[in-house]
Structure 1
Amino acid sequence: MGERFGLKEATIHKICEVFARYPQVHRAILYGSRAKGNYREGSDIDLVLIGNDDLNDRLLARIDMEIDDLLLPYMVDLSILSHITDPDVIDHIRRVGVVFYSRDDDRQ
């Protein structure tokens, strides 16, 4: 298996399987160093979720717990795009963000 974003395909698949269990999650966008390609071995995985109105902080906490239960050797930082208020962060996500998971993607 290959790698994308400095992550093994198996790791990406495990995270995407968690997202797939939640119909409220439509997409996950990877941003930060892994999206830009200047990550290091221990870099965290920055993901912002896009979904319907039922995607809230409580659901985010459940998703975060499931990802934590995967015992990955990375820190995964999850947020909801509609909850981000810092315009610089939103701009960064729009500039460097890449689709990590999409409900419409047949590969999931």
Structure 2
Amino acid sequence: MGLQEVVKLLAVDLDDKLIRSIRELGKKYSVKKIVLFGSRARGDNRSTSDIDLAVYTLPNFTSEGTLLSKLDDLNTLLKIDVIFIAPDNDHHLIEKIEKEGVVLYE
């Protein structure tokens, strides 16, 4: 993780324990990358804003349901919205995530 990514991560309005839990799930389920995007990544969120996560997976990833369930079980009252990124996803959306997103796990 480079300096720019660290600076972005420090500005994110999320509890450190929650970020650590998301990272642990990324490692446990062998995903390529988890990126926070949307209002929390841009810094224009409200205290009740949801958490938008883009999960980049390896080919033949089969644990979507389990990972979604584990993310749902995290200790937060905030809604967590997850999209799984695959090569056939909307390229405009991927570009937006890459531009504004904050890498939580890689």
Q: TM-score range by the shorter chain?
A: 0.7 to 0.9
User: What TM-score do the two structures reach when normalised by structure 1?
Assistant: 0.77
Report if the CA contact (8 A) 2:18-2:75 is conserved: no
- Which of 76, 96, 100 does residue 72 from structure 1 map onto? 76
Q: Which has the higher helix share?
A: 2
2:58 maps to what in 1? Answer: 52
Figure out how many residues of one structure are paired with residues of the other and give that number.
97
Distance 2:82 2:88 in 1: 11
Task: Give 1:4 shift.
Answer: 4.7
Report if the CA contact (8 A) 2:53-2:81 is conserved: yes
Q: CA RMSD in A?
A: 1.9
Q: Which amino acid aligns with 1:13?
A: R
User: What TM-score do the two structures reach when normalised by structure 2?
Assistant: 0.79
Indicate yes or no: 2:37 matched with 1:31. yes
Poorly superposed stretches of 4+, deviation over 4 Å: none
Q: Following superposition of structure 1 onto structure 2, how do residues 1-108 of structure 1 map, counting pairs within 5 Å?
A: 4-23=11-30, 25-56=31-62, 59-82=63-86, 85-102=89-106
Task: Give 1:83 shift.
Answer: 6.1
Indicate how the Cα distance of structure 1 residues 71 and 84 shifts in structure 2: closer, same or farther if over 3 A, else same.
Answer: farther
Report if the CA contact (8 A) 1:84-1:90 is conserved: no
DSSP-derived class of the 2:65 partner: helix
Identical aligned pairs, as a percentage?
30
Structure 2 gap segments, 5+ residues each: 1-9
1:106 maps to what in 2? Answer: none
DSSP-derived class of the 1:49 partner: strand
Q: Which has the higher strand share?
A: 1
